Structure 1
Amino acid sequence: MAPTATPWPCKALGLLLCLILVSCVQATANFTVVNGQVYTPGLAIIDAPQPHTPEGGDFLQVAVDISGDGRIPQPPYASDVETGIFNMTMFLFSYSTGLNLTISNGTRYGWLNDTTEAPEFHCNATTTQKFQNAGCEEIMAQESGSTVKHVNWAWPDCLVGDGQASSANSSARGAYNVSIHQSFRVNGTGYYTIFNLPIEVTNSIPNKTQLSATQTRPLCALRNNPLQNQTSQEASTFSPSFQPYLGGNVSISGSAQTGTGTGTGSAPQVYTMTTVQVLFAVVFISMVLTG
């Protein structure tokens, strides 16, 4: 007796399931996202942008929750605080273009000899839109009293254009990572992590900016740094064995803390399929369809 052919609607449904499973692993394999918030390996939680978001406009904004949605206190900390973020820096880098641009390093390095730039982009200066361009100010010290730090960074001159890199656009446009470096302590142990959030610099960035009176953009040449490979980045880090807010206890006690005690990670758990699970599911569906 000849085998019965699988009806085409079932094949179509199976193909759709396979595509959904593959897209799931692509979307979640490297990120833990809870209610739209991206959890880093450290204590910072990224509210915006989302992974792979096309970016452009006059400036980039990175919104970072430093309180773990209210789980840990804000600085200044006591010297013996058990859990807290001590320092955070940001960079924008691309292995395709070779650029590694400083967004904010909390020091004057790179801004001491910036007399060729518009004064609004000098160290500790304010733009015409009344916010301080990211650079010198420590991220943890800005917006005092706010649990979410909004890091605003005027796009520099080498990223001007619309769409991908082309003959009409800057060759520096395309896929980048917002690299977030954290120095922090969890339950009395110090850590240093690097989290790379992918974005696409493909939306329109005008040649003239509304953030300076001269309408000239900051200079990439003043912000570029040597680019480390992935192996070197990983070798420089020391990460917790678990995401502090998900599946672990976080102690916040300290001699000068107004709130003491133990905070337990209570965010909803996120189920992320591994690559092996997805491949198994795809093979299983294929066997059912051909069986």
Structure 2
Amino acid sequence: MALCYVLLLNLLLTLAPTAIAQSFSNNGQFFTKGLAISDAPAPDSPQHAGSDIVIAVDLSGDGKISQDAFTSNSTSPTHYISLNIYLTSSTTNFTVSNGSAFLSQEPGSTVKHLNWPIPNCVPSGSYNLTYYETALINNQIYIALQEFFSITPLPITMQNANPSSDNSQCNAVSNTVQSQPQQDSAPAINPYADPNSPLDSGKTPGAPGVPTITISSPGLPSVWSIETSGAPTATVTVTAATTATLVVVSSKTLTETLPGQTNLITTT
């Protein structure tokens, strides 16, 4: 017996979603912890000092978010408040883009582009193109709309055979180095993989499984025992005349043998 549920009056589903990896790649796109989706650069791609790093960010969630949501004063239930991008490592923190310009540029386009010139003084090594995003995200399980601050590192490799000794360009965009990793308040589940979010397409890799439990007996018993697997999330369809409440009371199973008996008793 994996889980035991108690049926009460009135339909109420009290189940907690299972957290999954908050950022992931899918079909050439890199999904941040928040709403932004990076089309370029690709994770772990090599970049060259003295050249441009080509950045393309889809703000629409592949068409799930309207362009009205790209501004901080939007009335959409889900919208961006800010999106800043930095080039970071354990010893450096360079501003690539901050402020509202990136979100508002290229009106009419859901994908925003930036060709950022990498200073010649940036040494070779492992870096992150780090997205700092603040957004208001609508989710059906929240009592009210919640504001989230997400920090998502996209790993890249910097190549520079002859770094310049002139640090003026680097100093112009340099910031105080923050601790690694930094704390954020990102959603527990990526918005595009959350079954409680209207942004979930149901096809995002890594989304938790959703077993379906159907109750169709005209005479509902007081206790049902149901075997489930995967995430502890279920859809209950009540087709009897009496509605019911599905509540998780425990997920811990105890197995014991009573004195004088040989049969195992399993209690959840």
The TM-score normalised by the length of structure 2 is 0.59
* Preserved contact between residue 191 and residue 199 of structure 2 (Cα < 8 Å): no
Residue in 2 that maps onto 1:84? 79
Residue in 1 that maps onto 2:178? 228
Higher percent of residues as strand: 2
- Give, in angstroms, the shift of residue 177 of structure 1: 0.5
% identical aligned pairs: 37
Residue in 1 that maps onto 2:157? 200
Higher percent of residues as helix: 1
Query: Quick one: structure 1 residues 217 and 99, their matched pair in 2 at CA, closer, same or farther if it must change by over 3 Å?
Result: closer
Q: Deviations over 1:153-205 (max 9, x none)?
A: 1111313xxxxxxxxxxxx2211110110010111211111101110012779
Task: Measure the CA separation in 1 of the matches of 2:45 and 2:202.
Answer: 24
Q: Which runs of 4+ in 1 moved over 6 A?
A: 203-207
* Preserved contact between residue 34 and residue 268 of structure 1 (Cα < 8 Å): no
- Give, in angstroms, the shift of residue 218 of structure 1: 7.3
Q: Deviations over 1:74-130 (max 9, x none)?
A: 1346654210112110110111xx111110122xxxxxxxxxxxxxxxxxxxxxxxx
Task: Measure the CA separation in 2 of the matches of 1:61 and 1:88.
Answer: 17
Q: Does 1:102 align with 2:87?
A: no
Residue in 2 that maps onto 1:189? 146
* Preserved contact between residue 154 and residue 218 of structure 1 (Cα < 8 Å): no
Matched pairs, number: 177
* Preserved contact between residue 54 and residue 201 of structure 1 (Cα < 8 Å): yes
Task: Measure the CA separation in 2 of the matches of 1:81 and 1:248.
Answer: 20
Tell me which amino acid in the other structure corresponds to 2:190: Q
Tell me which amino acid in the other structure corresponds to 1:223: V
Residue in 2 that maps onto 1:156? 119
Secondary structure at the aligned position of 1:158 is classed as coil
The TM-score normalised by the length of structure 1 is 0.55
- Match runs of 1:24-39 below 5 Å: 31-39=23-31
Give the CA RMSD over aligned residues: 2.7
Which of 177, 197, 200 is 2:128 aligned to? 177
Structure 2 portions without partners, runs of 5+: 1-20, 139-144, 208-268
Residue in 1 that maps onto 2:59? 66
Greater gyration radius? 2
Query: Quick one: structure 1 residues 264 and 229, their matched pair in 2 at CA, closer, same or farther if it must change by over 3 Å?
Result: closer
Query: Quick one: structure 1 residues 181 and 35, their matched pair in 2 at CA, closer, same or farther if it must change by over 3 Å?
Result: same
- Give, in angstroms, the shift of residue 248 of structure 1: 3.0
